[in-house]
Amino acid sequence: MNLSMKDKILQHFLQSKGEPISGQQLADELGISRTAIWKHLQTLQEEGYKFITIKKKGYQLVAAPDRVDAAKISSFLKTKRFGYSIHYFEEIDSTQSYAQKLARQGAEDGTVIIAEEQTGGKGRMQRIWHSAKGKGIWMTVIIRPNILPHQAPQLTLVAAVSVVMAMKSLYQNFTPEIKWPNDILINGKKCAGILTEMLAEMDRVDGLLIGIGINTNHELDDFPEDIQSIATSIAIEEKKKVDRAELVAEILKNLEHFTDEYVENGFTSIKTLWEEHSGTIGKRIKASTIRETIEGQAIGITDEGVLEILLDDGQVKKVYSADIEIQN
């Protein structure tokens, strides 16, 4: 894992679960001087981590800021590849744009770009995505599955299943649902969105950028007024603040597992999970594509992840890309 020395020191403290660690022990394990350890601890204090010295025992971490930095995420990580390279920013224009640059430079499978705040976050169809500072998860994961270009849209559905399963394993007070193709709703309100972009040649996918934006610790006032009636956050629904780094690690574990499952065994098992957690299937919807607006009942998705709509005249229409409005 490509952690800086400061992050390696922090990781030791996060994994010690509040037990003190001697400066000498750290120095010996990391191969640096005790003075260097002390300097790194000073930097961590400036970033909001709080240490106290306990006589004859060493340093103890007593308070940590709510951040999604590499050390914090890696202290929860249970993956083989994903999240072993993490690029963390206090502020960035867009994790997706930065990921594009890194992917072209050969960034490895499972590389994560994550920020406390995005100044130019984007959703589907170049819409603005509001990314409040320190409140949400704003990240892009670079994945390099061995698939053909026409299979790429299915990875949005794989990512949606990964996010929902991560939420379900950590939180008890709500049930997330997937709105085709890329939104996660809780009680009918939007909590997360997924944006997949492809780098490809004619016959092969070079890489996919899976952008994931999750309203995590927002209160209602943190949302712009015009979306307060249609947006929510995990904290609002779970009725308490949650650890963002823990959720990131859980999503990465699921995304690695379900991507590998998809590449090895196809879409079948993931399709079943997607349909189980869908808030779209069985509902009457209005689908707006570039060319037309279609109304009818969403009856399922194909093995390619294409939405099937039963029209009022009995025809079944396949929709590859659209904005979906669920009708009462």
Binding site members for biotin: 118, 190
Encoded tokens for 164: 């929902």
* Residue ranges at the known binding site: 118, 190
Q: How close are the terminal C-alpha atoms of the chain, in Å?
A: 49
Handedness of CA 200, 270, 163, 236 (dihedral sign): positive
Burial class of residue 308 (count of CB atoms within 10 Å of its CB; 0-12, 13-18, 19+): middle
Determine if residue 110 is left, alpha or beta; phi over 0 gives left, psi from -120 to 50 gives alpha, anything else beta.
left
Q: Which amino acid is at 115?
A: A
CB atoms within 10 A of CB 162: 27
Which residues, in sequence order, are CB contacts of 234 under 8 Å at separation 6+? 167, 171, 174, 186, 191, 214, 215, 216, 217, 242, 247
- Cα–Cα distances (Å) from 115 to 70, 192, 206, 208, in that order, read 11, 16, 24, 19
